[in-house]
Copies of this chain bind each other. A is one copy, B any other.
């Protein structure tokens, strides 16, 4: 708490690298590994506690990783609450993504070496901890020059945005996409990846006191249009849609009427992909949109995608490589982050569950 909100570009890996691998490893080994453990489902602040943890044996294929930082995502919260679609065996360690550095590798490990920066290729492995031994196949190496906040938040939201912009119909430069939850982690990644591809974005946000600031920030990321849900419902909005091609794709992270509004502006035969339901409301779909406008609705879940593509890790590597390229070119930045030491995890959890939170909480290990 009280730490400055960083832009996601400031804190680089250098201090860590400068410490040198051997020094780091020794330091890491001086402290006993600790993690945020929960033994039953419930409200995170109540059921999580910071405990000493036992590391798995390194074996031939294990990779000993010193975790550097890990974000608090809404799905992490839901998983601890027990309301998520997949739940780990208990007791479990919280957190599903994050960045770490390899300390030591098993004798048969070929794709990683000590010093490598890694993120996780799968979820459910528990990232809110100081150290872990992961299987080689669950890790992905990323370039050293990637800002840590980008690396820590790379494997869920930007990957979700990337796949939704890639896998649901062919979007050409000049085409447009409409999305709600435009200020969410996924929403901001959509804006930036779309802009890099020359795809126009119509970004719907909830009205709020500091709306003007938000509009400016999203535009600075590359958003073409930023409008409130209230404005989207007004008849005048038709003027906007005369100037730009009708969206072929709608991305829905909210559900409820907000999603129905996206459908209303989707082009004939367009697709709406749902990846979240922040309003906790079902999506009311007008029958006429399905029959006469021939729109399609489907869902996207990055966890499922990764599992289905686990055998062919190449597609995952290609995506991470492309996203890292965008990051290096300054075309993809992490959302504003609030970095909080692991011991202050209760403050991070509390902040992450407040409405209209723009800064992502990042636990520093």
Report if A310 contacts B (CB, 8 A).
no
Q: Is B277's CB under 8 angstroms from A287's CB?
A: yes
Q: Are A290 and B299 closer than 8 Å at their CB atoms? A: yes
* Interface-centre pick from A85, A276, A290, A304 (highest chain B CB count, 10 A): A290
B residues within 8 A CB of A300? 291
CB of A248, distance to nearest CB on chain B (Å): 15
Measured CA separation A316–B301 after assembly (Å): 38
A28-36, A144-152, A278-286 - interface stretch: A278-286
Find chain B residues with CB under 8 A from A85 CB: 288, 291-292
Do the beta carbons of B296 and A304 come within 8 Å of each other? no
Identify the closest chain B residue to A256 (Cβ).
Answer: B287
CA gap between A149 and B62 in the complex, in Å: 72
Cα distance A298–B293 in the bound complex, in angstroms: 10
Tell whether, in the assembled complex, residue B297 and residue A290 are in contact, meaning their CB atoms are under 8 Å apart.
yes
Contact residues in B for A260 (Cβ distance below 8 Å):
282
Asked if A274 is an interface residue, CB under 8 A from chain B, the answer is yes
**Interface size, A (range):** 20 to 34
Q: How far is the CB of A78 from chain B (nearest CB, A)?
A: 11
How near does chain B come to A136, taking the closest CB pair, in angstroms?
Answer: 28
B277, A288: Cβ atoms under 8 Å?
Answer: yes
> A255-287: which have CB < 8 Å to B?
255, 260, 274-277, 281-287
Residue of B nearest to A254 (CB): B287
Flag whether A107 is at the interface (Cβ < 8 A): no
Instruction: Please tell me which one of the listed residues B274, B286, B292 contacts residue A291 in the complex, with CB atoms under 8 A apart.
Output: B274
Q: Is the CB of A294 within 8 A of B285?
A: no
B287-A291 in contact (CB<8A): no
Does residue A295 face the partner (Cβ distance < 8 Å to B)?
Answer: yes
Cα of A288 to Cα of B260 in the assembled complex, Å: 16
Contact call A282/B291, Cβ cutoff below 8 A: no
- Residues in B neighbouring A255, C-beta threshold 8 A: 287
User: What residues on B are CB-neighbors of A285 within 8 Å?
Assistant: 282-285, 297
- Residues of A at under 8 Å CB distance from B? 85, 255, 260, 274-277, 281-301, 304
Could you list 21 examples of A-B contacts with CB < 8 Å? A260-B282, A276-B287, A277-B287, A282-B284, A282-B285, A282-B286, A282-B287, A283-B285, A283-B287, A283-B290, A284-B285, A285-B285, A290-B298, A290-B299, A292-B299, A292-B301, A293-B299, A294-B299, A295-B299, A296-B296, A297-B298
New A-B contacts (6) at CB < 8 Å, excluding given A255-B287, A276-B291 = A260-B282, A284-B285, A290-B299, A294-B298, A296-B297, A297-B297
